[in-house]
Amino acid sequence: MAHLPVQTKPAVLALLLAGVLAACGRPEPAAPVANPTPTEQEIAGARDAASQLGSRLKARLMAAMSEGGPIAAIEVCAEEAPQIAQQVSEETGYRVGRTSLRVRNPANAPDAWEQEQLMSFMKDLQDGADPAGLEAAEIVTDGGREVFRWARPIMLEAPCATCHGQSVSPEILAEIKARYPDDTATGFAVGDLRGMFTVSK
């Protein structure tokens, strides 16, 4: 992993603030405590959960495509993707899923943290970053609780274009629209940022 854009802004701000307060030479009020950084163990657990979800989904998708073709595979995706995510979450203890700035299933829509990471991945990729080196890991405070959050990009590969590409066949498009009337997940080119794996604990 050459490039690890772990979010450090809160820590940097806290340090700056501490410096300013110290410079005043007065007994300073307690500086806001920065969130701790995620541990190597948490990051390793998140990577493992995401790659398990990714490889199981891909295996299931490829099998369904070759057995029954893309229309049948849509049904498999629709019914099994959420179940597989649930299974991997239970097995690993890390809640894992997929999200995107343009979702097919509205249940996969990003929250504010996820949206921020997706935008940041998009920018890094535009600046020429290698997607394999992009990852986000952060401890955030959510409703008074500390939550470990992690994300990694999902890039569009050639087989994905059948259902997410720029020239999806009318039959496939009709099947997608029947299940997902608000689908916004077509029009991607191979190599585009399709979405990301998202993990929390």
Contact 42, 148 (CB under 8 A): yes
Min CB(78)–ligand HEC separation in Å: 5
Nearer to ligand HEC, 131 or 159 (CB): 159
Nearer to ligand HEC, 74 or 139 (CB): 74
Instruction: Compute CA distances 152 → 5, 8, 68, 92, 131, whole Å.
Output: 11, 17, 30, 17, 9
Which residue number places its CB atom closest to ligand HEC? Answer: 160
* Alpha-carbon torsion angle 160, 135, 9, 111, nearest 10: 40
Nearest to 84 by CA among 188, 197, 172: 197
Nearer to ligand HEC, 24 or 107 (CB): 107
Applying CB under 6 A, the residues found at the interface with ligand HEC are 58, 61, 70, 73-74, 77-78, 81-82, 98-100, 103-105, 108, 154, 156-157, 159-160, 162-164, 185, 194-195
Determine the Cα–Cα distance for residues 184 and 175; give it in Å rounded to an integer. Answer: 14
Min CB(117)–ligand HEC separation in Å: 13
In the block, residue with structure tokens 């509205």: 106
Min CB(112)–ligand HEC separation in Å: 17
Min CB(174)–ligand HEC separation in Å: 13
